[in-house]
Amino acid sequence: MSDARTALFDFSTARQRRHRARADAFLVQTAMEGLGDRLACVTRSFTTGLWVGAAVPQPLAGFASDWRVTEFGAGEILDAPAESFDLAVSLLSLQAINDLPGALIQIRRALKPDGLFVGALLGGATLRELRDSFAHAEIQTIGGITPRVSPFSDVRDMGALLQRAGFALPVADVERMAVRYGEFSALARDLRDAALSNVMRERSRKFLRRDTLAALIAHYAAQHGDDGKLNATFEVIYLTGWAPHDSQQQPLKPGSAKTRLADALGVPEHKT
């Protein structure tokens, strides 16, 4: 459960905006296709599926016979019975969770032994150009920086978070996209359609000043544009983990190897 005193995101606002997200937003479609590719590689079928979000997209519906749709509610508590699902899927629904390790633990507890979790969320390099341009524009026009672009998770940390949450065989991989926009309003529209506008608790509630917006666009075009286009970076991190089960591969105990590394490499062994 997140602590309101230290919460980074306005969870209630984030949930409201996520319900208004467009299913055909290109970021949603991209992440959905990535989840589908990873699920298609699993050589088993799933009966009971847990969809963590607003609704199961049709392209992913066939990966489980029977879905239960739920999401994190007040206090970031997941409404799902323990050890009840073969499969759990999250499509960007973990993006504005304050207690991400706690959320992953709740998902793992909802899975039956040997149940699979796959999830997608945006990674650390996402919108780095926008973050830089906002900082430059606000320093120039108001003399300081306010929270404008939400922080994103780093792929190097996500595998460790899966392991910390109790998942077996955890994997975190990332796909990076470079998108070119003809105008800044198109980027803003894509972020709004995917429910990725600013939901930080300490965000300014005032409208963006015209001079700040002008400075933002000018800096963006000068530093992150070419041939009249604005470049934007997006990273999608894909998470995969299994609820532990005795049938899964287990790491060997230290000292149990039966072949020397020197023999495998074909080199002489030198003792230190």
**In a 3-state reduction of DSSP, which class is residue 227?**
coil
Beta strand segments in 98-224, E: 111-122, 168-181
Full domain range(s) for residue 121? 11-245
Q: Residue 1 burial by CB count (10 A; 0-12/13-18/19+): exposed, middle or buried?
A: exposed
Q: Is residue 6 part of a domain?
A: no
Q: Is residue 96 part of a domain?
A: yes
Q: How far is CA 200 from CA 54, 96, 166, in A?
A: 21, 9, 28
Predicted pLDDT at 271: 65
pLDDT tens for the 272 residues of the chain, in order: 555 557 888 878 888 888 888 889 999 999 999 999 999 999 999 999 999 998 999 999 999 999 999 999 888 999 999 999 999 999 999 988 999 999 999 999 999 999 999 999 999 999 999 999 999 999 999 998 888 887 888 888 999 999 999 999 999 999 999 999 999 999 999 999 998 887 777 777 788 899 999 999 999 999 999 999 999 999 999 999 999 977 776 655 555 556 665 666 666 766 65
Q: Is residue 253 part of a domain?
A: no
Predicted pLDDT at 181: 97
Predicted pLDDT at 251: 54
Angle at which helices 210-224 and 128-142 cross, to 10°:
130
Q: Is residue 263 part of a domain?
A: no
CA–CA separation, 95 and 239 (whole Å)? 13
Torsion of CA 178, 125, 57, 46, to 10 degrees: 120
DSSP code, position 74: G
Q: Is residue 262 part of a domain?
A: no
Predicted pLDDT at 7: 81
CA angle 245, 91, 75 (to 5 degrees): 80
Number of domains observed in the structure of the chain: 1
Predicted pLDDT at 20: 81
**Whole-model pTM?**
0.85
Predicted pLDDT at 74: 83
Predicted pLDDT at 254: 55
Q: Is residue 252 part of a domain?
A: no
Q: Is residue 229 part of a domain?
A: yes
Predicted pLDDT at 252: 52
Element (H, E) at 265: helix 261-265
Predicted pLDDT at 255: 57
Q: Is residue 99 part of a domain?
A: yes
Instruction: Output the domain CATH number for residue 132.
Output: 3.40.50.150
